[in-house]
Structure 1
Amino acid sequence: MTISSVRLDRVFREIKELVPIDGLELLTPSTVHGVVPQSSLDSKPQQAFREGYRVAPAQPNDFVISLSSHAHGIEWCGLTGGISPDYTLLRPIVDTQYVRYLKYALKSQYVISQLGVFKTGVRMGLRLQWNKVRYCTIDLPPLPTAVELSDHLDRATSRIDTLLAKKTRFIELLREKRQALITHAVTKGLDPNVPMKDSGVEWLGKVPAHWNVFRFKQSTFSCQNGLWGADPNGVDDIECVRVADFNRPTLKVNPDIPTLRAVTEKERSGRLLKRGNLLLEKSGGGENQPVGQVVLYDRDASAICSNFVAKIELAPGMDQRFWNYQHHAAYTARVNVKSIKQTSGIQNLDHHQYLDELAVFPSANEQTGIADHLDRATTRIDTLIAKTECSIELLREHRTALITAAVTGKLDLRPAA
């Protein structure tokens, strides 16, 4: 197979023209779905719309260099619309029949590794400038070979993508089952034959007749806001648990990289976290993930929580695992939403109002029994989820390797002799 290595500026030209946004749909590059309407994204990037805002006019089969192309490649555009000048819009100058091949080549590890060399800035300020990226190379085979490779990759990646979709859906169903198990156990108990009564509370429904219905606050000893502290100084440094450290699927704290803040001994008084504390998200959230998540602090590390989090210390006789599960059941039922106050685009939870909501109070022994049951059941589900996620990662790696092999001349499509 004869393949030529060519620079990107021999394949694309940069579209520098900017036109008013009026009448054009704003498009945004997505690492998963390619270039999509910004309105379709759950988390919408902030754009500085103002009178006279101008965009690059995109058309089908253009390509876009995004702020994350150094890690995910260059995105294909199948739509007509406007691209923010924060991105670089490219238009092929080769035969349009090459476009399918280019879609694969520009997302290959071979190209991504080159793009990473040219990134400038840090974090959200990362940029890839065309005057440098233009020198990246791709392998460009003769057109008939490119079409044949594209056909092969279409078939192979379609099979992989179908399997990925099935596995992803399986994980969604497992998480739904996990939540249903939690809600049922904490509101109905474990005995299917126990007499029931109407709780008078919409989210609880019927509950065991011998259970009490009180307010959440009656399960707590205290609820204290956290503290952000000052920049680390090497003397007063302590781990500070943030909302970003909440592991929402497991309802626990799981900091990948602990955040250190300087907090004096006086400021720490009453704020140090203890194993068994619950942590309540007080600020943050969004439309699809409202503020008010509760997780369990089950670590022994000396730490405080940030000012966006409140530490809940439970009253004597309350099983922290059971109450973690019940708070999660309430969160799933959106009980917390009534206590959210919106200020300057940030959701804030009125924890006094939230803890005034009604909950069920089984006996201490029943709380522990329900928590033990849910620990076992959720562990089994979490193990299955982890195995499925691992298989998804392997499939994605195989997909990437297959594409890279195809666009670098390492895939032989000749029939066996």
Structure 2
Amino acid sequence: MIEGLKPYAEYKESGLPWLGRCPSHWSVRRTKILFHERVQKGFPNEPLLAATQTKGVIKKDDYGTRTVTAQKDLHLLKLVEVGDYVISLRSFQGGIEVAHCRGIISPAYTVLKPSQSATSGYYSHFFKAKPFIDSLSLFVTGIREGQNIDYERMSRAEMPLPCEDEQAAIVRFLDYANRKIDGFIRAKRKLIGLLNEQKQAIIQRAVTRGLDPDAPLKPSGISWLGDIPAHWEAKRVKQTTRILRGKFSHRPRNDPSFYDGKYPFIQTGAVARAGKFIASYKQTLNEKGLSVSKLFPSGTLVMTIAANIGDVAILTFEACFPDSIVGFVPAGKLDRDYLYFVFLCMKDELLREAPVNTQGNLSIERIGTMWIPLPPLLEQEQITKYIETETIPLNTAITRTEREIALMQEYRTRLTADIVTGKLDVREAAARLPDLPTDPAGEPFTDEVLGYTDVLDEIEPEES
């Protein structure tokens, strides 16, 4: 598909440090010529929108978002029309996202209305180019999560503008390339799903039936558990472990004065991405932040009880957590790693226990009253060792496949940047490409399985 792609014959200096040289026949225009800021508010009856990395800007109902804006604040949200672009500092990783429906969105976003010369779809790809995304840091105001795009400053900056025919060629080529890349990633994600199903089957069998296939069984009286070995017990979580609630009593949680100290701060997304162990962190609290939070000891088993409910991991260093995470310190008759595997099997049960409301938070009280199987301590340790041994080849295959996906995503990022900034000429290649069918749903074709987290503004819901 990319064989034979070459640079353009002639280049010129663009005058933009992040862009460098661009094709000599390309124009460079100020942002305000290409995009106008849309600042309309007062449309409380329009649907709420969410910015996603895989589907652009869509209705929150379609996405299944976990937060709801208070009715009284709806008139403060910004209007977004189909074809507009939205951006906030939280979306830098994904670039600027295009809107596929009309609605309203948080005032933290900057909404850009394209002019006629910017409606071809070229900028949907251009806004994904890492050099451009990095340049957005020049146009922000505020500190940390409180930052927003300053449109007045951004409007004076310049962007490349290929001619319309060339924009169309770039869009055609990248749409085709992305379709192929999406197919590759989808197949790899499907493989990972199958491997995880095999892992789950091994874990489920071991923690509910033990390692002896001939052991006599008895009814556990627990719906999700079924029969268990006759010599096992079934106990409530609160009878076997001490439960520690995370804490962050200040609102808003993203107040920058609490951050950039020496205390690691872990939120729900980090737990979801961690695997078994949390081995790194991106945020830290200072002494002021520690005063409104709680420090968990290394080795604590933690679980998310809001946002992505029921994800579990083990902490490998001291860290603070918000109140959307709880920690477990098992008593002497419960092995921590065995409890970790039990919780993995209880994910569906944990979700069922979460109340059906706008946030679906799972309370400590509900977790504490839930039942778990409890073999003798030595048998728990044997079960843990068995699971870890049996799942080694599956974990290896999953890690290898995830790396293949990451490499393909890196390739996509580099290819997109090289093409939309004029480093590669795709005009002839695009003309030779076959037509591809459109999405049956009639929506832009994107891969819903790209990445682990779809919502760009990854902010946990505030709790009352």
- TM-score normalised to the size of structure 2? 0.70
CA drift of 1:312 comes to 2.0
Contact 2:31 2:159 in 1 (8 A): yes
Match of 2:305 in 1: 285
Question: Are 1:376 and 2:376 counterparts?
Answer: no
Matched letter for residue 384 of structure 2: A
RMSD of aligned Cα (Å): 3.9
TM-superposition CA deviations, 1:161-203 (whole Å, max 9, x none): 1212222233333333322321111111233344433333222
Alpha-carbon distance between aligned partners in 2 of 1:400 and 1:181, rounded to the nearest angstrom: 37
Q: For residue 120 of structure 2, give the secondary structure of its aligned residue in structure 1.
A: helix
CA drift of 1:147 comes to 1.0
TM-superposition CA deviations, 1:287-342 (whole Å, max 9, x none): 6515xx66545x5x6789888644424325x443223322432344339828x899
Question: Cα 1:303–1:68, aligned 2, differ >3 Å: closer, same or farther?
Answer: closer
Q: For residue 53 of structure 1, give the secondary structure of its aligned residue in structure 2.
A: helix
Indicate the structure (1 or 2) with the bigger Cα radius of gyration: 1
Match of 2:137 in 1: 116
Alpha-carbon distance between aligned partners in 2 of 1:403 and 1:258, rounded to the nearest angstrom: 30
Match of 1:399 in 2: 412
Match of 1:182 in 2: 203
One of 318, 337, 340 as aligned partner of 1:321: 337
Matched letter for residue 165 of structure 1: R
Matched letter for residue 185 of structure 2: L
Alpha-carbon distance between aligned partners in 1 of 2:92 and 2:318, rounded to the nearest angstrom: 38
Question: Cα 1:173–1:183, aligned 2, differ >3 Å: closer, same or farther?
Answer: same
Alpha-carbon distance between aligned partners in 1 of 2:339 and 2:188, rounded to the nearest angstrom: 31
Gaps of 5+ in 2: 1-7, 9-24, 250-260, 288-294, 430-464
TM-superposition CA deviations, 1:91-137 (whole Å, max 9, x none): 222247x4221211122123212212212222321111211111333
Contact 1:229 1:261 in 2 (8 A): no
Question: Are 1:173 and 2:194 counterparts?
Answer: yes
Gaps of 5+ in 1: 231-236, 263-270
Matched letter for residue 58 of structure 1: V
Q: How does 1:400-415 map to 2 (within 5 A)?
A: 400-413=413-426, 415=428
Question: Cα 1:93–1:242, aligned 2, differ >3 Å: closer, same or farther?
Answer: closer
Match of 1:234 in 2: none
Matched letter for residue 72 of structure 2: R
Query: How many matched pairs?
Result: 388
Question: Cα 1:52–1:39, aligned 2, differ >3 Å: closer, same or farther?
Answer: closer
CA drift of 1:10 comes to 1.6
Q: How does 1:222-241 map to 2 (within 5 A)?
A: 223=242, 225=244
CA drift of 1:82 comes to 2.9
CA drift of 1:138 comes to 2.3
TM-superposition CA deviations, 1:211-240 (whole Å, max 9, x none): 3223146973x626478699xxxxxx9967
Alpha-carbon distance between aligned partners in 2 of 1:260 and 1:8, rounded to the nearest angstrom: 37
Alpha-carbon distance between aligned partners in 1 of 2:372 and 2:132, rounded to the nearest angstrom: 55
Q: For residue 360 of structure 1, give the secondary structure of its aligned residue in structure 2.
A: strand
TM-superposition CA deviations, 1:19-72 (whole Å, max 9, x none): 4222x2222322332111123334445535327715544332222233434443
One of 83, 93, 100 as aligned partner of 1:61: 83
Alpha-carbon distance between aligned partners in 2 of 1:375 and 1:122, rounded to the nearest angstrom: 44
Match of 1:330 in 2: 346
Match of 1:50 in 2: 72
Alpha-carbon distance between aligned partners in 2 of 1:95 and 1:272, rounded to the nearest angstrom: 54
Question: Are 1:214 and 2:234 counterparts?
Answer: yes
Contact 1:247 1:253 in 2 (8 A): no
- TM-score normalised to the size of structure 1? 0.77
Matched letter for residue 62 of structure 2: S
Match of 1:14 in 2: 37
Alpha-carbon distance between aligned partners in 1 of 2:216 and 2:192, rounded to the nearest angstrom: 34
Q: How does 1:129-278 map to 2 (within 5 A)?
A: 129-209=150-230, 211-216=231-236, 220=240, 223=242, 225=244, 244=268, 246=271, 250-256=275-281, 273=297
Alpha-carbon distance between aligned partners in 1 of 2:272 and 2:168, rounded to the nearest angstrom: 45
CA drift of 1:11 comes to 1.2
Contact 1:69 1:112 in 2 (8 A): no
Contact 2:233 2:374 in 1 (8 A): yes
Alpha-carbon distance between aligned partners in 2 of 1:189 and 1:33, rounded to the nearest angstrom: 43
Match of 2:372 in 1: 359
Q: For residue 214 of structure 1, give the secondary structure of its aligned residue in structure 2.
A: strand
Match of 1:348 in 2: 363
Contact 2:266 2:320 in 1 (8 A): no
Match of 2:252 in 1: none
Contact 2:272 2:308 in 1 (8 A): no
Contact 2:85 2:112 in 1 (8 A): yes
Match of 1:267 in 2: none
Q: For residue 346 of structure 2, give the secondary structure of its aligned residue in structure 1.
A: helix
Question: Cα 1:189–1:47, aligned 2, differ >3 Å: closer, same or farther?
Answer: same
Question: Cα 1:374–1:168, aligned 2, differ >3 Å: closer, same or farther?
Answer: same
Matched letter for residue 386 of structure 2: H
Question: Cα 1:224–1:259, aligned 2, differ >3 Å: closer, same or farther?
Answer: farther
Question: Cα 1:342–1:92, aligned 2, differ >3 Å: closer, same or farther?
Answer: closer
Alpha-carbon distance between aligned partners in 2 of 1:152 and 1:366, rounded to the nearest angstrom: 58
Q: For residue 159 of structure 2, give the secondary structure of its aligned residue in structure 1.
A: strand
Alpha-carbon distance between aligned partners in 1 of 2:394 and 2:167, rounded to the nearest angstrom: 44
Match of 2:28 in 1: 5
Matched letter for residue 108 of structure 2: D
Alpha-carbon distance between aligned partners in 1 of 2:96 and 2:359, rounded to the nearest angstrom: 35
Q: For residue 91 of structure 1, give the secondary structure of its aligned residue in structure 2.
A: strand
Alpha-carbon distance between aligned partners in 1 of 2:67 and 2:31, rounded to the nearest angstrom: 28
Alpha-carbon distance between aligned partners in 1 of 2:357 and 2:372, rounded to the nearest angstrom: 25
Contact 2:86 2:111 in 1 (8 A): yes
